[in-house]
Chains A and B, each alone.
Chain A
């Protein structure tokens, strides 16, 4: 499920004045629920979806998002249906799953993690920050593409805790 698709769905919901929409993606097994909730009157419901602003992984911030989808708060994160705990980004920056482009990723689905294990790198101000695990469990899913911009509080990994 990419950003463009979510934007299209949001636009459709707006036009149809839908307040709630649930989609299941068979490939990823992700279920996404878009919920219209707005400070405006109920008839003017603007869907609140959390997206990684600035586009997909290949070209961060290629074209800027249309004004409508701006200002989407981070609070309303579409909850993956898979059971688990999310590990959220402690900072804004660029997400890297490995220490160098040709290196193995630090973690992948199925890998067991323990506190202090490096999960990924987030680059901020030219500094490569190693993000360490604080819980024990098994990685179910990596929620962010390599090289994608991430913001504070954005879920990065889905973990089945012990």
Chain B
């Protein structure tokens, strides 16, 4: 096992990795920007190094600064967390050339799976269904029209290098396909420096279901069940849960087997997530692989009892997995609500600043992963997530009741948060019935423009 690990991230995930390391007896080196100098989680690290000014590109995204810190601190490995450099194959390559273990898959795997067209080809080779589409880049308008005619409208135009909704367009007919095609290309060129786009059939009102994978360096690939992340706003997940209310045992087996096949085909090791779209009629389609620990990983930790971050460290250090697929048992129901410093009444605009009063919830079945506290200043430079509130109960309806109770207990005075919208979603009959999809939040918000801020709203 490693003796000392550097954590190239901030906030709750830096804290999460520090906790895992401490339990494994690994020394931690936390790096931080001047915007995070006051953060309390830094005190839990054995060593801290300031790596730069607030802007991410000069601190948490600065490969030279992070590698210099790793060399100064003489660490054996770097945990990238999520976001920032976590899926940057160049960074993983630099770590390798500096003889520092990157806690994640190999750079080649990250590069392959980061290319959406290549990842889709890989899924097909693994015998995993993909959304019908152009099977590669679409260079011109005429080809776009002929491909669209073959797969049928509505069509989604996507950037090969894309993410976060940029370079994406929906086309419901030929004229909107033509305008959308050119707009998506221009947007992708501007945003990613690569104007390559491809076409896909749009699966309407799907569920987002993803499968957690653990794979070691010796060919063992396990799945840890699914997470349903259908409650999203503008492709940003808000609520995640496991198990998914939309899967039958048969379908669950099929989708988890498919995820394992994708991971095997990619020679994947470490923790990863294979994402799928699930249609209303029970067809599932591969979307992408996330080569990192995900924000919502604690959902899986709660239902399986397996510490995913500790497993990541063990795998990266070269230990074989001590688990077999049959050892993994799923117990109860877990739900996660992302607590973001955003104002749901003002189109979810970020609400940074000082937290005047912070009283975390507790009691049976509650887990809170958060780096916030009374007096903490949420810096305006990074993403707005300040915590993840989770519950684990024997069944879904009990879990929903516990979550509502925990949200009521949770006091955050100062910044606006997403707590009110979580209450609304969890109280909604469609969500309670498990009958919701990725369009739920946007539909709900268009019908309820004002989200009551008050208790019980």
What residues make up the interface of A, taking CB atoms closer than 8 Å to B? 39, 46, 53-54, 60-61, 64-68, 70-75, 91-94, 123-125, 127, 149, 151-154
Contact = CB atoms under 8 A, between A and B. Distances in A.
Chain B interface, DSSP helix/strand/loop, else mixed: mixed
B286 interface: no
Interface in B3-59: 4, 27, 30-34, 37-53, 59
Given A39-B40, A39-B375, A61-B73, A70 B48 contact: yes
A19 to B, nearest CB: 17
A72 B39 CA distance: 9
Question: Which of A54, A60, A65, A66 lies at the interface centre, i.e. has the most chain B CB atoms within 10 A of its CB?
Answer: A54
A39 B376 contact: yes
B45 A71 contact: yes
Contacts of B53: 152-153
A39 B50 CA distance: 19
A39 B68 contact: no
Given A54-B73, A60-B72, A75-B37, A125 B98 contact: yes
Question: Which of B37, B42, B50, B73 lies at the interface centre, i.e. has the most chain A CB atoms within 10 A of its CB?
Answer: B50
Contacts of A72: 42, 48
Contacts of B31: 92
Contact of B67 (A66, A67, A125, A152): A125
B48 A53 contact: yes
A128 to B, nearest CB: 12
A71 B48 contact: yes
A73 B46 contact: no
Given A53-B73, A152-B33, 12 more contacts: A39-B374, A46-B43, A61-B47, A64-B27, A70-B44, A92-B68, A94-B72, A125-B64, A149-B49, A151-B51, A152-B65, A153-B34
A74 B50 contact: yes
Question: Which of B27, B52, B69, B94 lies at the interface centre, i.e. has the most chain A CB atoms within 10 A of its CB?
Answer: B69
Nearest to A67: B46
Given A71-B40, A152-B34, A54 B68 contact: no
A54 B44 contact: no
B82 interface: no
Contacts of A151: 49-51, 69
B1 to A, nearest CB: 16
Question: Which of A39, A66, A71, A73 lies at the interface centre, i.e. has the most chain B CB atoms within 10 A of its CB?
Answer: A71
A53 B37 contact: no
Nearest to B33: A152
B71 interface: yes
Contacts of A71: 30, 39-45, 48
Contact of A75 (B38, B71, B73, B375): B38
A142 to B, nearest CB: 19
A72 to B, nearest CB: 7
A73 B37 contact: yes
12 contacts: A39-B374, A53-B49, A61-B47, A61-B72, A65-B47, A67-B45, A71-B30, A71-B41, A71-B45, A92-B51, A92-B72, A94-B72
Given A71-B41, A73-B38, A92 B69 contact: yes
B45 A124 contact: no
Contacts of B47: 53-54, 61, 64-65, 70
B163 to A, nearest CB: 27
A92 B52 CA distance: 8
B43 A153 contact: no
A152 B376 contact: no
Contact of A125 (B30, B71, B74): B71
B34 A75 contact: yes
